[in-house]
């Protein structure tokens, strides 16, 4: 283990003083939310996870983690007795006074799925000391996540770099120093750990010790979000440097999610995803990828409201009836239908009205009071549905595939639920559609400064963003690999609707208190989107398309390509 390289007496005295002055931590509630959302992305997918927060301070991070992880085992450690006393008053976890240099909790508390180093590493002359401590407490498949001030962030460089004319020692421990990305990565490598590093902005500050600097915190928060949060500059210049260790066996070289080609072009980074474009098929996707049935809390956290139902009910009913019209026009009547990713159950409701037998499954359903046909919908992962060995005439997955990080095994599981000669119906946004193409090009050309349209299309910031946007060529390649369809049809579907636009503006206005001017701009942008969507459909260049395939157990009987 590396030698001790920190004056712990000075650190203890410094943070005891900070704790006496302020209890609420450095970040605002929105800042903590941004950090907790990042942490949640790297947690194992089980209800009871074990997290150790090294450098927990007054317990604010654990307090906010408890809001989303009520069953988790949360333990905090800090060198400051005063800080730990305040943390214990919260009554939301186990808090221990301890020196990182000699800390070993494994005999009493065991090992942890995630070990946080909360703005700790830059307090050590030898950064291997806290990393070694975290490694001692790590479970076999666990991860270490650390965050520290980013030396490349211009605001931190002005305030925290001793060479800067604006440098201030107020609120800075004598042991602190800004660390480069190379130095942080090397410290993890020396401990035998592979690590990913990136910048993260949008962690809003609420308090710092310097009274003068406290006055300009609102300006700092505004500029940090304007120039860095969710832009192409965030990876390099985000206000905090995030280091996350890689799990054993994780793929280091990504391949295209559609055609499996390794010939990729790296586009940009949106924490915690890196986005790529495939040279072979043009598909755009993110890495790291999601599990097939990752249990999103999408509806419970964001869309449990009648506003969302009003926004999408008319549009989804129209889309559902177009698909049902096509099926019935091709002689498919009184069908057994499974809707995978059913959401509120709009498609199931329309199918039942027409006399079909339909049911829906989803990994995350809204509250029952918002469901269209609650008796026909179940919260059930596709993997468990496959194990029931029930087959259907038609399986639909509408606006689902773009949320799935492993589309090939997902589609293979869908195939196992379809009867011989049955039909699979998929609707998905197309990256080559004019709305998606223009928004994407605008985002890249401006380094993310003009990001509103693209991030809205991706549903970025929600718990269920789009992570896979195929081209038509890429989707056909994916269908060859997974479904091996006998026949193949494509029909266009709208992604915008004037009636739905009105409900969307009302919904957003009620949720965020938008003013009249902003609502007018949203109306204007929405009307342009409706017009472009309609014209592109007329000219055969849809923003969203429905792919309909007939599937046989033993593959292709007639080549549709």
Q: What is the pLDDT of residue 454?
A: 83
Q: Which residue has the higher pLDDT, 127 or 366?
A: 127
Q: Could you give the percent of the chain with pLDDT greater than 70?
A: 82
Which has the higher per-residue pLDDT, 435 or 232?
232
Asked whether the beta carbons of 79 and 11 are under 8 A apart, the reply is yes
CB-based contacts of 385, cutoff 8 Å, min separation 6 = 338, 340, 361, 417
Taking only the tens place, the pLDDT of each residue in 193-212 is 999 999 999 999 998 878 88
**508 has a pLDDT exceeding 80:** no
pLDDT at 297: 44
User: Does the pLDDT of residue 499 top 90, yes or no?
Assistant: no
CA distance linking residue 520 with residue 174, whole number of Å: 52
Question: How much is the mean pLDDT over the chain?
Answer: 83
Domains and CATH numbers, the chain: 8-245 (3.40.50.150), 298-551 (3.40.50.150)
Report the C-alpha gap between 545 and 74 in whole angstroms: 45
- Lowest-confidence range among 150-154, 158-162, 193-197, 198-202? 158-162
**Predicted local distance difference test score (pLDDT) of residue 1:** 45
Tens digit of pLDDT for each residue in 358-388? 999 998 887 787 788 999 999 998 989 999 9
In angstroms, rounded to a whole number, what is the distance separating the alpha carbons of residues 129 and 101? 6
Which tens digit of pLDDT belongs to each residue from 1-22?
A: 444 456 778 888 888 888 887 7
Task: Please classify residue 40 by burial: count the beta carbons closer than 10 Å to its beta carbon, then call 0-12 exposed, 13-18 middle and 19+ buried.
Answer: middle
Is the bond into 519 cis (omega within 30 degrees of 0)? no
d(C-alpha 539, C-alpha 123), whole Å:
61
Quote the tokens at residue 196. Answer: 């990913």
Peptide bond into 272 cis (omega under 30): yes
Q: Which residue has the tokens 């291997």?
A: 128
Q: What's the pLDDT score for residue 535?
A: 67
pLDDT of residue 493: 61
Does pLDDT of 233 surpass 50?
A: yes
The whole-angstrom separation of Cα 171 and Cα 302 is: 37
The pLDDT tens digits of the residues spanning 304-329 come to 455 566 666 777 888 899 899 999 98
What is the sign of the dihedral through the CA atoms of 217, 219, 220 and 226? positive
Residues in the chain, total: 561
CA distance 66 to 271: 22
According to the model, what pLDDT value does residue 319 have?
Answer: 84
Q: What mean pLDDT comes out for the span 81-96? A: 92
């Amino acid at each position: 283990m590396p030698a001790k390289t920190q004056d712990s007496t000075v650190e203890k005295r410094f943070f005891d003083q900070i704790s006496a002055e302020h209890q609420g931590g450095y970040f605002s509630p929105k800042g903590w939310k941004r950090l907790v959302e990042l942490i949640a992305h790297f947690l194992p997918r089980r209800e009871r996870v074990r997290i150790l927060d090294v450098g927990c301070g007054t317990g604010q991070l654990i307090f906010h983690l408890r809001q989303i992880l009520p069953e988790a085992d949360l333990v905090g450690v800090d060198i400051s007795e005063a800080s730990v006393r305040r943390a214990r008053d919260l009554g939301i976890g186990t808090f221990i006074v301890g020196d990182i240099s000699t800390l070993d909790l494994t005999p009493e508390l065991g090992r942890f799925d995630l070990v946080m180093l909360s703005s700790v590493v830059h307090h050590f002359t030898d950064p291997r000391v806290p990393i070694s401590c975290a490694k001692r407490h790590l479970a076999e498949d666990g991860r270490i996540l650390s965050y520290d001030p980013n030396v490349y962030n211009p605001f931190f460089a002005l305030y925290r770099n001793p060479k800067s004319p604006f440098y201030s020692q107020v609120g800075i421990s004598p042991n602190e120093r800004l660390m480069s990305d190379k130095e942080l990565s090397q410290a993890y490598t020396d401990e035998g750990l592979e690590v990913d590093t990136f910048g993260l902005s949008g962690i809003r500050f609420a308090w710092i010790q310097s009274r003068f600097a406290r006055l300009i915190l609102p300006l700092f928060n505004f500029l940090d979000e304007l120039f860095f949060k969710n832009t192409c500059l965030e990876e390099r210049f985000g206000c905090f440097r995030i280091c996350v260790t890689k799990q054993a066996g994780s793929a280091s070289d990504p391949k295209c999610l559609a055609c499996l080609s390794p010939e990729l072009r790296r586009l940009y980074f949106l924490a915690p995803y890196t986005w790529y474009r495939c040279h072979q098929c043009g598909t755009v996707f993110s890495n790291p990828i999601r599990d097939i049935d990752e249990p999103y809390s999408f509806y419970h956290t964001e869309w449990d409201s009648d506003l969302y139902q009003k926004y999408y009910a008319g549009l989804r009913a129209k889309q559902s009836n177009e698909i049902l019209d096509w099926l019935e026009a091709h002689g498919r009547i009184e069908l057994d239908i499974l809707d995978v990713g059913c959401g509120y159950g709009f498609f199931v409701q329309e199918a039942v009205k027409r006399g079909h037998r339909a049911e829906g499954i989803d990994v995350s359903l809204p509250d029952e009071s918002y469901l269209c046909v609650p008796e026909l919908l179940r919260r059930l992962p596709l993997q468990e549905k496959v194990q029931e060995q029930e087959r259907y005439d038609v399986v639909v997955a509408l606006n689902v595939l773009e949320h799935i990080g492993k589309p090939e095994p997902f589609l293979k599981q869908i195939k196992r639920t379809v009867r011989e000669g049955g039909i699979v119906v998929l609707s998905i946004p197309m990256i080559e559609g004019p709305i998606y193409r223009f928004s994407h090009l605008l985002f890249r050309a401006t380094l993310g400064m003009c990001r509103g349209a693209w991030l809205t299309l991706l549903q970025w910031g929600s718990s269920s963003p789009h992570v896979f946007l195929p081209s038509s060529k890429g989707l056909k390649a994916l269908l060859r690999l997974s479904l091996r369809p006998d026949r193949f049809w494509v029909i266009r579907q709208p992604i915008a609707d004037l009636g739905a636009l009105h409900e969307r503006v009302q919904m957003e206005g009620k949720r965020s208190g938008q003013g009249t001017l902003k609502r007018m701009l949203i109306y204007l942008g929405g009307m342009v989107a409706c017009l472009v969507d309609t014209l592109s459909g007329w000219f055969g260049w849809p923003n969203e398309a429905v792919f309909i395939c007939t599937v046989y157990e033993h593959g292709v009987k007639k080549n549709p390509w």
